[in-house]
Structure 1
């Protein structure tokens, strides 16, 4: 009796763990619009998943944002206007390639600065070690 009750509870709880799926597929006007949509959503980051593009994410907010992007595309907005809308709402984080600005210069140029600093340190070490005279050959074999 207890086993049946536990089994029944397991089946009743299963829908609570199911993820909400997108009930209706997106409707594109033509193949060009679909290609533009897929290209744009692959350049945008899911704000919940953080490591997936908007095109790849299965999070509910990603479904909502894909619908929003398509609605704005069909309203005649350009890709730049759609990106600007999402940046205003979610910040630069939503872009996989953030713009170069005073807030993101370290992100863009930091790795280059670290590489240059490393090259300078290595050059100084090599100069210090290589500055000694070479001893004269005394005729002995090692």
Structure 2
């Protein structure tokens, strides 16, 4: 029973991320378009949240702006372009691959490769046998034998 309660809470928590009632469009098809756009836009004052997930006042303003632009008859692309023009590529949860965003796209891959290379060389180095020592000179060998004889 407890598992069912947890599962139900998890499933119904998605409703908490929906737009507030005063933001909703009357036409369900237009509202579906707005929700789709909301899911692709970053809340610029939150960390890694879409405006659909955020309760921040700026996220609410962006949700209202999206719905206003859709109600004006703009396409999804026109709405996205308008918001990107105002806030920059940062507002997109998946920024386009271009010169100024290459670091964002390349850093995770580079970090993974560097980590794998570091692990490879670390593990490879730890498996090497100890370097063979140079043969002892006759004087050194005599000194070692004397010490061993004295001990016993």
- TM, length-normalised to structure 2: 0.61
Larger Cα-atom Rg: 2
Mind listing any 5+ residue stretches in structure 1 that lack a counterpart? 1-23, 134-142
The residue number in structure 2 matching 1:68 is 65
2:109 corresponds to 1:106:
no
Aligned length: 110
Q: What RMSD in Å do the two structures reach over aligned CA positions?
A: 2.3
Which string of whole-angstrom CA distances, capped at 9 and with x for unpartnered residues, describes residues 58-100 of structure 1?
3333333222211211222222221121111111221111111
Aligned equivalents of 1:26 and 1:128: distance in 2?
61
Are the structure 2 counterparts of residues 34 and 120 from structure 1 closer, same or farther at C-alpha, using a change threshold of 3 Å?
Answer: same
Q: CA deviation at 1:50?
A: 4.4
1:129 maps onto 2:129 in alignment: no
Say which structure is richer in helix: 2
Q: Against the structure 1 CA distance between its residues 60 and 117, is the aligned structure 2 distance closer, same or farther, given a 3 Å change threshold?
A: closer
What is the Cα deviation at residue 51 of structure 1? 4.3
In the alignment, which residue of structure 1 is the partner of 2:74?
77
- 1:115 pairs, out of 107, 112, 117, with 112
Give the structure-1-normalised TM-score. Answer: 0.64
